[in-house]
Amino acid sequence: MNLNELTISQSLVGLKKKEFSSLELTKACLRQIKNQELKINAFVSITEEKAIEQAKKADLLISKGTNSPLIGVPVSIKDNFCTKNIRTTASSKVLDDFIPPFNATVVKLLEEAGIVMLGKTNLDAWAHGSSTETSDFGSTKNPWNTNFLPGGSSGGAAASVASNETVFAIGSETAGSIRQPASWCGVVGLKPTYGRVSRYGLIAMVSSLDCPGPIAKSVEDCALVLEVLAGKDSLDATTSDRAVPKYSKSLNNSLAGIRIGVSDEYFDGVDEEVNEKIQEAVKILEKLGAKIKKVKLFPPKYAIAVYTILQRSEVSSNLARYDGIRYGKDRSYFGEEAKRRIMLGTYTLSSGYYDQYYNKAQKVRTIIMNDFDKAFKKVDLIVGPTSPSTALPIGSSKNHPMFGEMSDALVEPSTIAGLAGINVPCGFSKQRLPIGLQIFGPQFSEERVLNAAHKYEQTTDWRKYKPSL
């Protein structure tokens, strides 16, 4: 196995045993980036010089016995997280030359944990989309088949992990933007509970929904990263002061007696191949001791309507600061998707329409949250497809303003409710494209979600398959 193909846990073991150095691991990832970037386009910026410097520092600390949680492990970071003295664009030409004077809290915590930053990954501009086709720096391609999309908006992050350009990545999810690209790229993506991880320094799209999280090669890796990222942040008032568990220590708990819900509403309109693999996964969970129960949930179409209104409204507010006066370029550099969302959001919030649209959407959002609360009195977790389909061909999102909402239809409800959820690979289509299983639970149920995902992952071999690049 090449060093760049290692997981976080494998990397940490090898570094501790002095089987290889962080510099060797980092150079292996950088070589893979150089070999694959023309095909994949996962990165907006590659920070090779910084990565080499951080790797050398990590090796020195390791030689002195320092035992930081992620010391010496390479990571790619979605380019909507501010990175001090490193260009941060949100994949928009508006911020083409923006150099933040500070680190996002997520970046700060990772650096304190000893990571090596390889670069900033591509996304849909401003995270507006589920394909990475709206990026002003060109679309990212799916490593399993470069004629297909990687998903989005964290498409670059997911593709960088799937192509072994990095050991793990940091993405952000507003309505599926971690789990959906993880599904299409055949990797693990964890969306924590809203408020479990700080949003400070994350370029805001929908402030009431945005949530940073890890994309990795294994469930265990996601647990290790969440242990570093989770916790109260004085710079983000929405973060929770709940204690942060050792998530990686609870992965091998038995699933005996765990009640797992399956909702028919989450299978409407799902491709037959996806449906078959999810049903097989449910049977495996049942064999592991879980009790499978039918639950009735609000159809996801209601979440789509709510999300569309809330997202456009908060986008119009959050993008108002980009006027070209204090930083960045003027508003003429906004892409078509950003302009469309700004106009719809401004209309929704305008006098005479606020109550008709925005206020009503907030009320329905509460109803959706209450619906989940009722369901979680009967079951501990809910499973279903992450996406209605496997990856779609390049160009599929063109001239389809609702492409993102439809691709994220099955993960939007849990995001709107602020729940914890994960995507784990569960098979492939006949076209050899990955299929993802989503497992989600109540707020702050990350331990339970990770445990179920890990037990499923370790019972199957899907994680062992890699794209032929």
250-301 pLDDT, tens per residue?
999 999 999 999 999 999 999 999 999 999 999 999 999 999 999 999 999 9
Q: What are phi and psi of 440, to 5 degrees?
A: -140, 155
- Mean pLDDT across the stretch 9-21? 98
In the predicted structure, residue 404 carries a pLDDT above the cut 70: no
Confidence band, pLDDT 50/70/90 cuts, at residue 153: very high
The answer to whether the peptide bond before residue 153 is cis (omega within 30 degrees of 0) is yes
pLDDT at 40: 98
Q: Does the active-site annotation cover 78? A: yes
pLDDT at 260: 98
Residue in 76, 91, 130, 153 annotated catalytic = 153
In the predicted structure, residue 403 carries a pLDDT above the cut 90: no
Q: How far is CA 171 from the centre of its chain?
A: 4
pLDDT at 26: 98
Count of CB atoms within 10 A of residue 93's CB? Answer: 16
Percent pLDDT > 70 in the chain is: 99
Read off the tokens for 110: 């990772």
Q: Which of 291, 261, 173 is nearest to 222 (CA)?
A: 173
Q: Enumerate residues 6+ apart whose C-beta is below 8 A from 156.
A: 41, 42, 43, 44, 76, 78, 79, 121, 122, 123, 132, 135, 140, 150
User: What is each CA distance from 75 to 44, 64, 166, 184, 461, in whole angstroms?
Assistant: 14, 23, 6, 20, 24
In the predicted structure, residue 37 carries a pLDDT above the cut 90: yes
Confidence band, pLDDT 50/70/90 cuts, at residue 398: confident
Encode pLDDT of 333-389 as tens digits: 999 999 999 999 999 998 788 888 999 999 999 999 999 999 999 999 999 999 999
Percent pLDDT > 90 in the chain is: 94
In the predicted structure, residue 405 carries a pLDDT above the cut 80: no
Encode pLDDT of 300-338 as tens digits: 999 999 999 999 999 999 999 999 998 899 999 999 999
pLDDT at 355: 83
- Mean pLDDT across the stretch 456-461? 97
In the predicted structure, residue 64 carries a pLDDT above the cut 90: yes
Residue in 160, 177, 248, 414 annotated catalytic = 177
pLDDT at 406: 74
- How far apart (Å, rounded) are the C-alpha atoms in residues 165 and 38? 12
Encode pLDDT of 160-218 as tens digits: 999 999 999 999 999 999 999 999 999 999 999 999 999 999 999 999 999 999 999 99
pLDDT at 356: 87
- How far apart (Å, rounded) are the C-alpha atoms in residues 317 and 347? 12
In the predicted structure, residue 236 carries a pLDDT above the cut 70: yes
On average, the pLDDT of the chain sits at 96
pTM score > 0.95 for this model? yes
- Assign residue 72 a region: left if phi > 0, alpha if psi is -120 to 50, beta otherwise? left
Confidence band, pLDDT 50/70/90 cuts, at residue 393: very high
Q: Enumerate residues 6+ apart whose C-beta is below 8 A from 129.
A: 152, 153, 337, 397, 403, 404
In contact, 165 and 4? CB cutoff 8 Å: yes
Architecture of domain 3-464: Alpha-Beta Complex (3.90)
pLDDT at 383: 98
